[in-house]
Amino acid sequence: MNLRLVRDRAARRGFQALTVLCCVLVLPILGGLAIRSGPVLKTQPLWRVLFSSDWSPTQGQFGLLPFLAGTVYVTLLAMLIAVPVSLLTAIFLSEYASRRVCRCVLPLVDVLSGIPSVIYGVWGTLLIVPAVSALAGLGGSYSSGYCLLSGALVLSVMVCPFIIHVAREVLAAVPRGVREASLSLGAGKWQTVKRVVLRRAFPGIVAAVVLGLSRAFGETIAVLMVVGNVPVVPRSLFDPAYPLPALLANNYGEMMSVPLYDSALLFAALALLVMVVAFNLAAKAVLGLARSEAA
């Protein structure tokens, strides 16, 4: 009995140590990026680096506004496309589809989530880019297809499997008795799903969207291949964009002989990390409110 208690305590303390280590690991990452970002902030004020559109490393201009705007626009547009599609798919698989359909579709969803991002990039280059270019032509404007819309479409396809998988599991976890109680009171199938099941599963659905959002923020290769990579603030869906992950993947390790270039890129990485943390904290606050309302 004593040996078992010792093992339980050791396991508990070990898990606590690992949890603390995972939480503390963010601090040295932030500290290292902040220290390496110092030189560029000593030559230019913070507001100028964040809100200037002048990006010319050879002339000492490191305005990150085009990259910040490109990151936010591509990510939010992708989520606007992916969330409704993913949620409706999860509802269908959980509430309406037969077991045979689920056995066929769910493995395909898992396969989509495991496809390397470069494959999505190649698919986007071969199919999405020409289609977007043709769509722009129908509207009377010209676009090469390497633009904000192409990046958002490819990114939305990439995050859909993650949201579908988690949202479907959350919906399936709602007790069957809740559904039967609603149906016994005369509610229809869709009324039960909309007013009972979704309300009960809302916190988990928010968590699924947060998971997809985190994946979308950090995606690099696929978006890099289709978004255009032009350092300008996009004014329309058919304008090229240049997200921060693409900037880092394209340039880090190159042209390091340019003064402050390394520092500017590491500050871009710091800005991306801060954005991801800020969006996750905001999502956590929304999740907390959703749980309190559901309770």
Question: What CATH number is attached to the domain comprising 214?
Answer: 1.10.3720.10
Question: Taking residues 200-228, what's their average pLDDT?
Answer: 84
Question: Taking residues 255-277, what's their average pLDDT?
Answer: 83
Please say whether the beta carbons of 261 and 57 come within 8 A: yes
Give 293's pLDDT tier (boundaries 50, 70, 90): low
Residue 253 has pLDDT above 80, yes or no: no
Predicted local confidence at residue 157, as pLDDT? 92
Residue 294 has pLDDT above 60, yes or no: no
With respect to residue 111, please indicate whether it lies within any of the assigned structural domains: yes
| Lowest mean per-residue pLDDT among 130-134, 139-143, 194-198 | 139-143
User: φ and ψ at 237, to 5 degrees?
Assistant: -65, -25
With respect to residue 48, please indicate whether it lies within any of the assigned structural domains: no
Higher pLDDT, 41 or 128: 128
pLDDT > 70 in the chain, percent:
96
For the stretch 77-118, pLDDT in tens is 999 999 999 999 999 998 888 888 888 888 888 888 888 888
With respect to residue 7, please indicate whether it lies within any of the assigned structural domains: no
Best mean pLDDT range from 29-33, 146-150, 210-214, 262-266: 146-150
CA–CA separation, 135 and 145 (whole Å): 9
Residue 140 has pLDDT above 70, yes or no: yes
User: φ and ψ at 148, to 5 degrees?
Assistant: -60, -45
Predicted local confidence at residue 256, as pLDDT? 62
Mean pLDDT over each residue of the chain, to the nearest integer: 85
Give 151's pLDDT tier (boundaries 50, 70, 90): very high
Q: Note the Cα 290 to chain centre separation in Å.
A: 20
With respect to residue 228, please indicate whether it lies within any of the assigned structural domains: yes
With respect to residue 45, please indicate whether it lies within any of the assigned structural domains: no
Predicted local confidence at residue 245, as pLDDT? 87
Residue 257 has pLDDT above 80, yes or no: no
| Lowest mean per-residue pLDDT among 23-27, 53-57, 250-254, 266-270 | 250-254
With respect to residue 77, please indicate whether it lies within any of the assigned structural domains: yes
Predicted local confidence at residue 87, as pLDDT? 93
Predicted local confidence at residue 150, as pLDDT? 92
With respect to residue 24, please indicate whether it lies within any of the assigned structural domains: no
Number of domains making up the chain: 1
**Containing structural domain, residue 94:** 65-294
Q: What single string gives the DSSP state of each residue in the chain?
A: -HHHHHHHHHHHHHHHHHHHHHHHTHHHHHHHHHHHHHHHHHHS-HHHHHH---EEGGGTEE--HHHHHHHHHHHHHHHHHHHHHHHHHHHIIIIIS-HHHHHHHHHHHHHHHHS-HHHHHHHIIIIIHHHHHHHHHHTT----S-SHHHHHHHHHHHHHHHHHHHHHHHHHTS-HHHHHHHHHTT--HHHHIIIIIHHHHHHHHHHHHHHHHHHHHH--HHHHHHSB---S---STTS-B--HHHHHHHHTTSSTTSTTHHHHHHHHHHHHHHHHHHHHHHHHHHHHHHHHHH-
Residue 232 has pLDDT above 80, yes or no: yes
Predicted local confidence at residue 291, as pLDDT? 66
Give 124's pLDDT tier (boundaries 50, 70, 90): very high
